[in-house]
Amino acid sequence: MTTPRDLPSVEELLQTQAAAELIAQYGRSLTLSAIRDTLASIRAKFLSGQATVLPLRDLVLAQTSALLDGWTKPTLRTVINATGVILHTNLGRAPLSDAALRAMDIVGRGYSTLEYDLEKGARGSRLIHAEAVLQKLTGAESAVVVNNNASAVLLVLSALANRKRAIISRSQLVEIGGGFRIPDVMKQSGARLVEIGATNKVHLRDYEEVLLTPSALVLRAHRSNFKMVGFTAEPELKEVIALAHAAGAYFVDDLGSGALYDTAKYGLTHEPTVQESLAAGADIVCFSGDKLLGGPQAGIIIGRKALLDKVKKHPLARAVRADKTCLAGVAATLLHYLKDEAEREIPILKMMSLTPKQIQGRVAAWILELGQGEIVEGESTVGGGSLPGETFPTFLLSLTVESPERFLKQLRAQNPPVIARTDNDKVLLDPRTVLPEQEGALLVGLKNVLNS
């Protein structure tokens, strides 16, 4: 009668050529752990009656190999985004330019001047690496880069409004992705949150009344992923800033998306730009590096030098500082704007610049290669909490399949995975967000699933 004792021993398995190959690939300790876990799993299934036959040695080792592969396979992987959402938060937002990737690779491979002054031969500051470019590009007196925009706002409020009044309109008390809420960020900073106006309307008189009491600053927060329409009202930015300054308060503008170009040029609603905020008189402007700017994840703070000096010296600044690869990527991305080459080099701007005719041509080429599918009109979106509700006209590859959901699941199982969408029982793929160098892999993945 077969019993679990008939299974090969750990030592017996370790003496095989297959185990030696696994050890060479994964290391002895991890391989030993996987063998023990595999044997334990087989033994448990046999004793519970889920299995009636014990596997041979080769099958045990094959299961061990599969287990090791699962343990060591990276969870952060490259995917092909065929959804048509340009700044897809779940898919990592902005793909980076070649120059940004090179800059990050160079400083990541060895030692760098992160905090070293070559001229003085002494300790330097990491804060300078993107600051000079930001000063030239925006005209700001000073700048600092941190790890994301939420931490940028938290740092500014902590440095300038701790235990002091910070005024914000109720129409801007938003919740951004992941459940993070602007009021919670403000309270965490130690600022005394003062809400004014109504959800849909705030007037200049609301600011006038609250500023009769001494306050540290007025904050404007970008609404990020929704827009307000209908019975709404807000005063002009310049009016609010002038009122804040007259009352001795600073004005901090959390722009979120970080647009340096006018988005109206792409057929979209105008998104307030960083330059416009500074021109209106904002003392500090905060924005993201990985949204409309098109760089790596970062929070960028620009504005008056006297205020930024306080921000840089605050203890929280060390906790949220950017690392060397982030600083290199941000600086390289900003240089594209400074050199007037952003639309040629930054992937998200290239995607936004594509015409429907160009996209239609790509779909036609895909259909020719696949031997099936049809071209349908559709819409692309910006995503990432930028320009909510705004769309681009596009053309889509539409595939008729037996089970759209199963088809999408099979696409996600390809290498690299393909992320698409469905509508009215059709599988839809938008070329706008498929990088040109990924087209070959996309078509291979589609053929694999279509032929399976």
Domain range list for the chain: 4-72, 80-89+348-451, 96-342
Using omega within 30 degrees of 0 as the cis cutoff, is the peptide bond preceding 272 cis?
no
Cα torsion angle, 94, 98, 103, 109, sign: positive
Q: What is the CATH number that goes with domain 80-89+348-451?
A: 3.90.1150.110
Q: What is the C-alpha to C-alpha distance for residues 299 and 101, in angstroms, rounded to an integer?
A: 18
Using one digit for the tens of pLDDT, what is the confidence trace for 244-263? 999 999 999 999 888 999 88
Burial of 202 (0-12, 13-18, 19+ CB in 10 A): buried
Residue 69, pLDDT score? 96
Continuous segment of H or E residues that includes residue 218: strand 217-221
Q: Has residue 197 got a pLDDT over 90?
A: no
DSSP label at residue 9: P
Q: What percent of the chain has pLDDT over 70?
A: 96
Residue 252, classed as helix, strand or coil, is strand
| Confidence bin at 7 (pLDDT 50/70/90) | confident
In this predicted structure, the answer to whether residue 1 has a pLDDT above a threshold of 60 is no
- Residues in CB range of 47: below 8 A, 6 or more apart: 4
Residue 139 confidence (pLDDT) above 60: yes
Residue 103 has pLDDT above 80, yes or no: yes
- Is the pLDDT score of 230 beyond 70? no
Torsion of CA 142, 147, 152, 158, to 10 degrees: -110
Average predicted confidence (pLDDT) for the chain? 92
pLDDT attached to residue 2: 67
Digit-coded pLDDT (tens) for 279-314: 999 999 999 999 999 999 999 999 999 999 999 999
Average the pLDDT over 333-341 and give the result: 97
Helices (H), 27-146: 28-48, 57-72, 98-109, 128-138
CA distance readout (Å), 112 to 47, 115, 175, 298: 58, 8, 38, 20
Residue 234 has pLDDT above 60, yes or no: yes
Pinpoint the alpha helices (H) of 189-261: 204-210, 237-246
Report the range of poorest mean pLDDT among 54-63, 181-190, 402-411, 422-431. Answer: 181-190
Here the tokens at position 23 are 């050890």
Helix ranges, 73-172 (H):
98-109, 128-138, 149-161
Give the pLDDT of residue 184: 83
Least confident of 89-93, 265-269, 409-413: 265-269
DSSP 265: G
Maximum distance among all alpha carbons in the chain?
Answer: 92
Element (H, E) at 7: none
CA-CA distance, 420 to 84, in Å (whole number)?
A: 8
Tell me what the mean pLDDT of segment 222-242 comes to.
77
Provide the pLDDT for residue 3: 74
Give the integer Cα–Cα distance in Å for 344 and 360: 21
Interval 200-228: pLDDT, tens: 888 999 999 999 999 999 999 886 655 66
Q: Which pLDDT score is estimated for 260?
A: 93
Query: For position 38, what pLDDT does the model report?
Result: 95
On the question of pLDDT at 174 being above 80, the answer is no
Report the distance separating Cα 311 and Cα 38, nearest Å. 54
Give, in words, the CATH class of 96-342: alpha beta
Residue 393 has φ and ψ, to the nearest 5°, of -70, 140
Q: Please report, for residues 347, 366, 438, the alpha-carbon distance to residue 435 in angstroms, rounded to integers and kept in the order given.
A: 8, 14, 5
Which of 95-99, 118-122, 187-191, 305-309 is predicted least confidently? 187-191
pLDDT digits (tens, 9 = 90+) for 109-134: 999 999 999 999 999 999 999 999 99
Q: Percent of the chain beyond pLDDT 90? A: 78
Beta 426-429 vs 386-399: how paired, if at all? Answer: antiparallel
Q: What is d(CA 277, CA 220) in angstroms, rounded to the nearest whole number?
A: 11
Distance between terminal CA atoms of the chain? 42
Comparing CA positions, the residue from 220, 218, 231, 227 lying closest to residue 173 is 220
51-65, 71-85, 378-392, 417-431, range with the lowest pLDDT = 378-392
| Measured distance CA(149)–CA(376) in Å, rounded | 38
pLDDT band at 235 (very low <50, low <70, confident <90, very high): confident
DSSP class per residue in 29-43:
HHHHHHHHHHHHHHH
What whole-number distance in Å separates Cα of residue 197 and Cα of residue 234?
A: 9
Q: What is the mean pLDDT of residues 72-93?
A: 95
Tell which wins on pLDDT, 130 or 184.
130
| 6 to 3, 54, 56, 61, 164: CA distances (angstroms) | 6, 8, 10, 15, 74
Closest CA to 298 of 329, 276, 338: 329
d(CA 452, CA 445): 11
Backbone angles phi, psi at 165, to 5 degrees: -80, 130
